[in-house]
Amino acid sequence: MSEPSVETIIENGLVRLSDVERSIQINDMDYQFYYDRCMKPDNTPSDYLALHFKERQQERWMTCKNMLSSNFTVIKTQEVIQQIQSSLTGNIENEKHFRSGTSVKSTFKLSGYQIDIENEPEVDRVLFQLLTNINTDIELLTTAKLTFNIINGFSGNHALQLNYGLEKTMSVSNEDGTTNSLPVNNIFVLNAYTNRLIHDNRLVINISDVTNVQQNIQTQINSYKSVSFTPEFVDELGKNVPKRFFKKFISMFESIPDNLRNFYYVTYILSVIMESERNIVTEIKLRTLISKMHDSMIDQENDEH
């Protein structure tokens, strides 16, 4: 299939669909998004646009089932990454991305934004064995880093957002000289600090927000540890996620020792499953659900005291 004819191919910056007379193609990362204004029977432009999208290497376009209003503003994910780097300084490390429907997610680390959390060698061993099925008595080397997770919706289904993650990497050296490493990016424990990045049609990124996250990571960890993931929470989770997702969760949850069945360790399991599922709609829904359940228990405990 040949490339569609377009008025402009945008390579950077904010694009207000109200400024698009007929059509526009936006190239972002490995993805292409083509907006086409719908015309009325009298051949005058309407206030709505159709969205077609595909991977750059694909031949066939897919079409979004919903129309977009001219009020929608589009921004490229790679532009957001560049703006974060420019605003916060530091080098982008280990950036990776994927598309889920009409949304793009990018995860990366930024040099200079280190974090310090308490070591938990025995707990890390349990997590490592649970998530890898590798049973080892050798001491694990564990490191922790702050991650930046951008979710960018191109069809108006959700706002451009930045979620912070806690990536814990657990490594063990084998007798043959090889190393088994398990990086797990916990996308739930810092959800309270998720930011919408567009304000008044401007991309806004504040270093104070990141500093606040760095200073409160251990507090958030302790808070998530303090709340048990009860059978009632398991049932609630099952009502809100796809059956395949829940089946994976149950098979891992049942292997967690009773003393570790709290929100903190459960969110590592959920993060691993979410990484394999790569469903952005489910991720946003699940992050909201986990935060709501956790916060409700914290509020209940505060009321009791």
Residue pLDDT, tens place only, 261-276: 999 999 999 999 999 9
pLDDT score for 199: 62
167: its two tokens: 């990536």
Half-sphere exposure of 75 (CA within 13 A, CB side): 23
Flag whether pLDDT at 117 surpasses 80: yes
Least confident interval from 61-65, 130-134, 167-171, 198-202: 198-202
Flag whether pLDDT at 89 surpasses 70: yes
d(CA 226, CA 228): 7
Q: Are 155 and 255 in contact (CB under 8 A)?
A: no
Provide, for the chain, the percentages of residues in helix, strand and coil under a 3-state DSSP scheme, each rounded to the nearest 5: 35, 30, 30
SS3 207: helix
Long-range contacts of 179-186 (CB under 8 A, 24+ apart): 180/132, 180/134, 182/128, 182/131, 182/132, 184/127, 184/131, 184/268, 184/271, 184/272, 185/107, 185/147, 185/149, 185/271, 185/275, 186/267, 186/268, 186/271
Average the pLDDT over 80-101 and give the result: 92
pLDDT score for 232: 95
14: its two tokens: 């904010």
pLDDT score for 264: 95
What percent of the chain is modeled with pLDDT above 90?
Answer: 65
Average the pLDDT over 61-70 and give the result: 95
Query: Would you say the pTM of this structure is higher than 0.75?
Result: yes
Average the pLDDT over 21-43 and give the result: 95
| Arithmetic mean of pLDDT over the chain | 89
d(CA 281, CA 190): 18
In degrees and rounded to multiples of 5, residue 258 shows phi and psi of -55, -35
For residue 92, count CB atoms less than 10 angstroms from its CB and return exposed for 0-12, middle for 13-18, buried for 19 or more.
middle
Q: Are 75 and 14 in contact (CB under 8 A)?
A: yes
Q: How many CB atoms lie within 10 A of CB 42?
A: 5
| Res. 14 pLDDT band, cuts 50 70 90 | confident
Between these two residues, 302 and 43, which has the higher pLDDT value? 43
Flag whether pLDDT at 97 surpasses 90: yes
